[in-house]
Chain A
């Protein structure tokens, strides 16, 4: 029941943001709504007990792909630059807020690191329990060969990027 409520709430947010992505006038806002959309999809993965997929979703989509979108928006320059904001100290305030947030986070990690119980060092075939461990385990055992081929694929992509971007080889 609780899961169903969570699912439909998330689904409603995802759909809502998706509508906003296509309806907002400002391209940059549109891309930012897309980021929110991706983050909610990641939350959906967490709900499905797939935390690894959730992290990948955030890293690849909310991270990589959106940066790509923003680059395109920047390059094609679809609208004139926005007018300067009224509050001249807005940026300083935001920066201060972010700095404090990061500081608190780092402090929390430091406290946690010193107080948590020491884990035993895992022996060779460790009992695989978590989702991420399972993915990693499969990737380096059963699916080692496709994993290796993927490395060639990435090499091809890298060489390709150099070939296409460099003026003279």
Chain B
């Protein structure tokens, strides 16, 4: 007879409980607070802050909760901090944007918090069931958020496209998962790993791996499963795009690492090959497609696809160092990507949509700090020292070379060179073209805070990265990476 769950299990899921409570509080506050009150954003930030505070007791915890459904370890902790940080920045970005678009903030903030909850479950899940439910919670929240600006047809289109392709990819993923369950008789990833030892050549298992790779490929927007990304990124409300490109991507990578490193280490020869091909194709196609874009959100969508390719290099390497490089890259990517989107939101004014390349003409005269910050984010995305983006790429490619994948590192460096073209083109528009039209560019206090955090993060991680790298490496080691390395050697 299965034993029930104990009180201590509830202690370990305290952060999730706090976040859930916070989300419900936002819904209630929405009804109680006067219409148009900005206090709702602060309630949301308070909920996120309380959740971060409740993470503190679990700094060095390493346990399985509820009989192996969730793991509370440093790997999950690292991701949870990334998600919560990204959510907080997204809330800060959204205040003025929602006002301009005339959208109702209550449900919006609730959905942001629920998406974050789903991500936290995904990062902590070591059981296919938990991971899947976390993924669904996140995905459903994003489907709605993508279509949140209802009068905007592009937003509607984004929501429908994301929903249809998301549901489709989820089906593929679920099919793969069900085969994994059928072959091992368990949904727990760690039990599964031992059940699969010696089954490497089972064609059914290979099929399952292919299906799971394809399903996850959709989620991280890897080529050839990236078709939805540009349209959804362009059409969705800009803060949602920012959160989608950072949070959803990081959560999907967390899930990917859990499934492949903890559940399928014995199949690593197969999935390494698949991810290597995916990484090369994703980097190259993403960067080449970004070259011709004139819409900044679309350009950043393709750039985000390319970045998924870079991050996949860490999965291929599969070593603790590779995983640590992925974690740190996802954090760095969060700062620079959210920063770039903050600038796009600053450009959104009553009369200007502000996401076209030409809208950025002469920005350095109209708002020197915004132009400088955007310059910084573009250099960081392109991987120029001394920004954080450089350190991130340095470690990723270093880990690849370490694990014997020199060709991947070379292709990655070549791709970074290609990407500089379109990042620098935006800089050229900002600094060398005559001033564009429209009302003056201004920031609001909350946008200012978001921008400052992103700028500081991008510079700090570029100048003093050692501290975080050690943290990431420690987190990576809590994952069953040691087992993989042993299986490969």
Contact = CB atoms under 8 A, between A and B. Distances in A.
Contacts of B148: 163
A163 to B, nearest CB: 5
B141 interface: yes
Nearest to A145: B66
Contact of B2 (A142, A152, A155, A159): A142
Contact of B66 (A125, A140, A144, A163): A144
B134 A145 contact: no
Contacts of B27: 159
B133 A149 contact: yes
7 contacts: A137-B2, A142-B3, A142-B4, A146-B130, A159-B107, A163-B148, A164-B144
Interface string A130-169: 0000000110111111100110110111011011100001
Interface in A93-141: 125, 128, 137-138, 140-141
Interface of A: 125, 128, 137-138, 140-146, 149-150, 152-153, 155-157, 159-160, 162-164, 169
Contacts of A163: 104, 107, 144, 148
Interface of B: 1-5, 9, 13, 20, 23, 27, 65-67, 69-70, 104, 106-107, 110-111, 114, 117-118, 121, 127, 129-130, 133-134, 136-137, 140-141, 143-144, 147-148, 150, 159
A143 B332 CA distance: 35
Given A146-B130, A164-B147, A152 B137 contact: yes
User: Chain A's interface: helix, strand, loop or mixed, by majority?
Assistant: helix
Nearest to B136: A153
Given A146-B133, A149-B137, A156-B144, 6 more contacts: A128-B1, A146-B129, A149-B133, A156-B141, A160-B111, A163-B107
Given A143-B129, A163-B107, A149 B4 contact: no
In the A-B complex, the 9 residue pairs with the smallest Cβ-Cβ separation, listed nearest first, are: A160-B144, A169-B104, A141-B4, A142-B2, A153-B137, A156-B114, A149-B133, A163-B107, A146-B133
B66 A156 contact: no
A152 B66 contact: no
Contacts of A128: 1
Contacts of A142: 2-5, 66-67, 69
A145 B3 contact: no
Contacts of B67: 142
A145 B130 contact: yes
Given A145-B9, A145-B65, A152-B20, A159 B111 contact: yes
